[in-house]
Structure 1
Amino acid sequence: MHRQGIASVLINRRMLVALVMGFSCGLPLLLTLSVLQAWMKESGVDLTTIGLMSLVGLPYTLKFFWSPLFDRYALPILGRRRGWLLASQLSLMAALVWLGYSNPTAQPEWLALAALAVTFFSASQDIVVDAYRREDLSDRELGLGSSLYINGYRVGMLLASGGGLILADHMPFSMVYLIMALCLLPGLITTILTPEPHVPSFPVTLRDAVVDPLVEYFSRTNAVWILAFILMYKIGDTMAAAMSTPFYLDIGFSKTQIGAVVKLFGFWATIAGTIIGGIAMIKLGILRSLWIFGVLQALSTAGFALLATVGPSLAALSAVIAFENLSAGMGTSAYAAYMASITDKRFTATQYALLTSLMGIPRVLASAPTGYLATQLGWFNFFIFCTLIALPGLLLLGRIDTHPQCG
C-alpha cells in the first residue's frame, strides 16, 4: 500500500503520454498567430489584413460542434481514440507543410486556407487528446496528469513561437514550418505505442453526446451569465495579444529580441504566475481570485501603452512582459479552476468542450478588428482601449455563482 505512493503516480506511462500529448497540442497554436503575423508583417502585408487572419482560428471556438462525432464513431484502426488521433496528427503535419510553402503576398487566399486547415486539425487533435486523457488517467492521477498536459502544452507553444521566430531570423519561413511539422513526430509515435483506454460505455446516439449535456447546463438559473463571463473575462488581454508581435516589430525590436524576451523569458513568468495563482486560490477562493487576478490582467495590458511611449527598451520590455505574463498565468489558473467547478461530472468532456470553445471566441472574433483599431487609434490608445474593455468581464463576476450545484 505504502509502495504505491507519490513515485508510482509520478513515474508511469500515463504521465509521460499526458506530457507528450500536451506538447503536440500546444505546438500548432501560435504557428497561425504570432509566427504567421511576423511572416506577414515582414512580407509587407498591412495590419488590417494581419488582424483579419485571426479568423482562421475559428475551429478552436467551434470544435464543440463536431466533438460528439469522435465519441459516437470509430475509425477501423487503432481504436476509437487513437484512430482519430492518428488521423488528425497526420493531417496536421501535412497542413503545416502546406502553410509553410504558401505565399503571403502572391497567394494570400491559399495561405488563409492552409492556416484554416492547420487550426481545424489542431482543434480536432485537442478534442481527442482531452477525451483520451480523461479515460486513460485514474481519478487519483487526473490532477497531476492534467498539470503535466498543461506544462507540455506551454513547452510546445514556446518552441513554436520563441523558437520559430528565432529560426526565422536565419532561414526561410517554409523551413521553419517544415521543422515544426517534424516536431509533431513524438506525439504521433506516442499515439501508435500507447494503449487504447478501456471505456465500459460510450454514447450510442448523437443525442446522448450533445443534447443531454446542454439540457442540464441551461437548466441552471445563472447559465447565461456564466457564458457571458467566460466570453468577457479575458477579452482585454486577448485583444492586446493579437497585435503584440506587429507592435514589437513596429516600435523597433528584432525577431530575436522578441523570441528571447517575450517568448522565452515570458514563458517562465507565465509558469510562475500559474503556480502563484494556484497557491493563492487556496486562501482566497475562486471568486476573490478572479477579481484580483482580473484587475492585475487589466493593469498589465496598460503596461503595453507605457511601452509604446518608451520605445524599444529591453529593460522596459522585460518589465512589461514579466508583469503581463505573471498576471495572465494567475488569471488563467483561476479561469480554468472556475470552468472545472461548473462542469457536471456526468458530462465533463462535452460541457468542458463547450466552455473551452466559448473561451476561444474572443481570441478569434474580438481579435479580427484589432489591426484596424491599432491603425486608427495608434498603439498607445489601442492598448488603453484594451485595458478598458476588460471592465465588463469584472462586473459580470457579481452576477455569477462560483460554486453552482451540479448533478
Structure 2
Amino acid sequence: MATGGRQDTPPGSGTPAIPARRILPLYLLLGFAAGLPFFMFNAVLLLRMARHDIDIVTIGYFAWVALLPTFKFVWSPLVDKYSVPGFARFWGKRRGWIMLSQLGIFASMVGMAFTSDDTNLPMVALFAILLAFWTTTLEVAADGWRIELAPTQEQQAPIVAANLWGYRSAMVAAGSGAVLIAARADWTVAYLAIAVAAFAPFPALALTRAEPGATGRRWRSLGIGMAAGSVILAMSCAIVAVLGWLLLSGAAAAGIGSDANLTPVVIVLALLPFAILALALPRIRKLAPDAPLLRSTTFGPFVDIFWRYGFATLLVLGFVSLYRVGDVLALTLSHPMWDARGYSLDQIGIADGAVALPASMLGVALGSWMAAKWRLSWALAAGALVAAIGNWVYVWLWWVEPEGWILYASVAADQFGNGLAGAVFVVYLSMLVNPRFPAAQYAFLSGFAFLLARLLAGASGEMQLQIGYDGFFILTGAASLAAVVFLPFLARTRSHGDSAGPEEAA
C-alpha cells in the first residue's frame, strides 16, 4: 500500500538530533518508558482489585480505562502542532512532549499508590485515567517520530522490534515487579517503586543533545519546562475530575446505578465518530487532493485515510478492529483467572517476569523478521494463528490442577503469540500511514484497532459470569483467528494517492 514520500528527519530539522546509530537504543528506551505504566492501570490494577474482593463486574468496568488510548487521535493533532513550553526550546517538539508525559506518568502513579487500598474507587479511577492519558501521549509523540524516521516496511521492522522489546520488557518488569513487591510489602510500595522506575528515562533524555536550531539553554529550558509541566498536570487533573463528577452526577440523575448494563451505551458512544466518517465516505471520495478539508490541521489527517482508500477503508478498519481482540480480552481476565484458580502472588510474579519476558521477546523478534521478509498478509495470518493458540492454552490451564509449571507453560505460549502478532501488526499499521501526518494518523489507526477489543473488555466480567473462564478463553482464541478471513481482500487493497496535507497548505 502506498504510504507517501520519505522523510528522514523531523520536519523542519537539519541534522538529526539523534544520530542514526542511536535510533534503535532510543526506541528501546522509549518503549520501556511507555510499557512500565501500561500494566499498572490495566492488568496489575485488575489483579489488585481482585485481591481486595472487588466484584468481577466492577473489575471489568475498570478495563474501560484502556479505552482512552483508543481515542488518542482526538488530541494527537495537538502533539503534532504545538510544543511544550520550556522543554521544546532545547529538546524540540517530540522530546518535549515525551518529557512532559513522563512527568504526568510519575505523578499519576504516585496518586494510584496512595489510593491502593481500593476503598475510594472514584479516586482510583481518576488517577488510572490520568496515567492512561499521559502514557498514551508519550506513545503518540514517539510513534510520530518513528514513522518520520523510517517510512518503509524494511526500515520499520528493526525499530518496531526495538520499541516492542523495550515496551514488553517494561510491561513484564512492571507486572512481575509490582506483584512480587506487593507480595512482600503492599500495593502502595509496589506502585511507588514502579513510579520511580518509570521516571528513570527522564534524566537520560534531559542529557541528550539539543535539537538543531535550539534557542534555549539546557538547564534554563529544563526549569521552565518543569514549571510549565506542573501547571499542565494540575490543569489536566482538574479537568478529568470535573468531567468525571459531571458524568457520575448525570448517571445518578438518569437513574443509572452500579448494577446497570452500560456496555450497549458505551459501544454506541465509542463507535459514533467512526460511523460519521463512514457515512461521509461518498463525499470524501469526491474531494480534490487540495480540498480545504484535506488541508485542515484538525480533520485532514483522518479524512485523508478515507480519501486514499475509499470504501476499502471499511475493510481495513474491520480487519484492524478484530486482529487484537483475543489478546486484549485475554489480558483483561488472565490475572483474575490465575487468582481464582489458586495461584499465589509469587507464582504470578514469576510467570509475569522470568517466563513472560523471554517468550515475548522471542515472539517479537520472529514477528519483526517475518514482517521484513514475508508478504505482510502471510505474516499477519501466522500471527493470528499463533495468538489464537496462546489464548486456547488458558482453557487447559483452567481444567487441570494448579501447578507452577502449568502456569508458566501457558504464559509462555500466550506471550510468544502476543509478541509475534503485535510486531507484525505494528508494521502493517505503519504502512497504512501517510508520512505527512504520522502521529495523528497512526494514533487514529492504532486507536481504532483496539476500540472493539477494549469495549468488549469492559463487559468481560459479565461474559465470564455467563460462560465461565474456560468458555471465555475459547471465545478469545476464536476472535483472534476470525480476522484471517479479511486477508485475501486486503492483499488487493491499494492507496488512491496522496492529498496535499497540512504541511503543503502551510
Task: Write the letter of the residue equivalent to 1:63.
Answer: K
1:5 equivalent in structure 2? none
1:384 equivalent in structure 2? 474
Alpha-carbon distance in structure 1 between the residues aligned to 2:147 and 2:45: 32
Secondary structure, in 3 states, of the residue corresponding to 1:257? helix
Cα offset for 1:62? 0.9
Q: TM-score, normalised by structure 2?
A: 0.72
2:199 equivalent in structure 1? 185
Cα offset for 1:191? 3.1
Residue 299 (structure 2) pairs with residue 211 (structure 1): yes
Distance 1:81 1:324, change over 3 A: closer
Residue 171 (structure 2) pairs with residue 157 (structure 1): yes
Alpha-carbon distance in structure 1 between the residues aligned to 2:75 and 2:473: 35
Distance 1:17 1:174, change over 3 A: same
Contact (CA 8 Å) 1:135, 1:198: kept in 2 or not? Answer: no
Q: Please show how residues 31-70 of structure 1 align to structure 2 within 5 Å.
A: 31-70=40-79
Q: Please show how residues 118-197 of structure 1 align to structure 2 within 5 Å.
A: 118-133=131-146, 144-197=158-211
Alpha-carbon distance in structure 2 between the residues aligned to 1:326 and 1:51: 25
Contact (CA 8 Å) 1:28, 1:122: kept in 2 or not? Answer: yes
Segments of 5+ residues of structure 2 without an aligned counterpart are 1-18, 215-292, 499-506
The match for 1:248 among 335, 338, 342 is 338
Alpha-carbon distance in structure 2 between the residues aligned to 1:295 and 1:134: 27
The RMSD of aligned alpha carbons is 2.7
Secondary structure, in 3 states, of the residue corresponding to 1:167? helix
Secondary structure, in 3 states, of the residue corresponding to 2:200? helix
The match for 1:23 among 5, 12, 32 is 32
Q: TM-score, normalised by structure 1?
A: 0.88
2:275 equivalent in structure 1? none
Secondary structure, in 3 states, of the residue corresponding to 2:297? helix
Contact (CA 8 Å) 1:235, 1:362: kept in 2 or not? Answer: yes
Contact (CA 8 Å) 2:76, 2:439: kept in 1 or not? Answer: no
Cα offset for 1:323? 2.1
Distance 1:251 1:261, change over 3 A: same
1:85 equivalent in structure 2? 98
Alpha-carbon distance in structure 2 between the residues aligned to 1:255 and 1:218: 47
Cα offset for 1:144? 4.3
Alpha-carbon distance in structure 2 between the residues aligned to 1:196 and 1:349: 22
Alpha-carbon distance in structure 1 between the residues aligned to 2:164 and 2:481: 28
Segments of 5+ residues of structure 1 without an aligned counterpart are 1-7
Alpha-carbon distance in structure 2 between the residues aligned to 1:257 and 1:47: 22
Identical aligned residues as a percent: 26
Distance 1:217 1:45, change over 3 A: same
Alpha-carbon distance in structure 1 between the residues aligned to 2:181 and 2:492: 44
Alpha-carbon distance in structure 1 between the residues aligned to 2:42 and 2:377: 31
Task: Write the letter of the residue equivalent to 2:426.
Answer: A
Aligned pair count? 394
Cα offset for 1:137? 8.1
Alpha-carbon distance in structure 1 between the residues aligned to 2:127 and 2:393: 34
Cα offset for 1:333? 2.1
Cα offset for 1:319? 2.5
Task: Write the letter of the residue equivalent to 2:110.
Answer: V
The match for 1:315 among 376, 385, 405 is 405
2:501 equivalent in structure 1? none
Contact (CA 8 Å) 1:27, 1:153: kept in 2 or not? Answer: yes
Residue 103 (structure 2) pairs with residue 95 (structure 1): no
Alpha-carbon distance in structure 2 between the residues aligned to 1:108 and 1:174: 15
Cα offset for 1:267? 1.5
Secondary structure, in 3 states, of the residue corresponding to 2:54? coil
Is 352-361 or 157-166 further displaced after alignment?
352-361
